[in-house]
Structure 1
Amino acid sequence: MSSISRTRLLAAAATTVVAALSLTACNDGTGTQDEGRVADTSRSAAASHSPAPSAATDQSPSTDSTGSSAGTGSYGAGAGSTGGTATSARRTPVSKAPSSSGGPVTCEGSTVRTVAAPLTRPVNHMLLTVTNTGSKSCYLYGYPVVRFGEAQAVPPVIEASQPQAVVTLAPGESGYASVNLAATDGSGANGYTAKTLTVYFQGRSGNGSVGKGAHPSLPTQGTYVDDALKVTYWQQSMDDAVTW
Structure 2
Amino acid sequence: MFNFRASRTRFVGATATVVLAALSLTACNDGTGARAEGASTTAGKTATASAGTSSSATPSPGSNSSSGSSSSSSSAGSSSGYSGAKPATVTTPRSGTRTSSSKAPGSSGGPVTCEGSNTKTIAAPLNRPVNHMLLTVTNTGSRTCYLYGHPAARFGEEAQSVPPVIEDSKPQAVVTLQPGESGYASVNLSATDGSGSNGYTAKSLWVYFQGRSMSGSVGASAHPSLPAKGVYVDDSLKVTYWQQSMDDAVNW
User: TM-score, normalised to structure 2's length?
Assistant: 0.57
Matched, 1:123 2:130: yes
What SS class does the counterpart of residue 199 from structure 1 fall into?
strand
User: TM-score, normalised to structure 1's length?
Assistant: 0.59
Letter in 2 for 1:197: L
Match of 1:233 in 2: 241
Q: Percent identity?
A: 81
Alignment of 1:63-102 (within 5 A): 102=109
Alignment of 1:2-21 (within 5 A): none
Counterparts of 1:170 and 1:223, CA distance in 2: 31
Match of 1:185 in 2: 193
Match of 1:202 in 2: 210
Counterparts of 1:193 and 1:107, CA distance in 2: 29
1:137-194 CA-to-partner distances (Å, cap 9, x unmatched) read: 0000000000001212110000000000000000000000000000000000000000
1:6-49 CA-to-partner distances (Å, cap 9, x unmatched) read: xxxxxxxxxxxxxxxxxxxxxxxxxxxxxxxxxxxxxxxxxxxx
Match of 2:140 in 1: 133
Aligned residues: 145
- Structure 1 runs of 4+ aligned residues shifted over 2 Å read none
Match of 2:176 in 1: 168
**Please, which of 105, 113, 124 is the counterpart of residue 120 of structure 2?**
113
Where do 5+ consecutive residues of structure 2 fail to align? Answer: 1-106
Counterparts of 1:190 and 1:171, CA distance in 2: 40
What SS class does the counterpart of residue 240 from structure 1 fall into?
helix
Compute the displacement of 1:101 (Å): 6.5
Counterparts of 1:167 and 1:115, CA distance in 2: 17
What SS class does the counterpart of residue 241 from structure 1 fall into?
helix
Compute the displacement of 1:102 (Å): 1.0
Letter in 2 for 1:143: H
Where do 5+ consecutive residues of structure 1 fail to align? Answer: 1-99
Match of 1:224 in 2: 232
Matched, 1:147 2:151: no
Counterparts of 1:176 and 1:101, CA distance in 2: 26
Letter in 1 for 2:148: Y
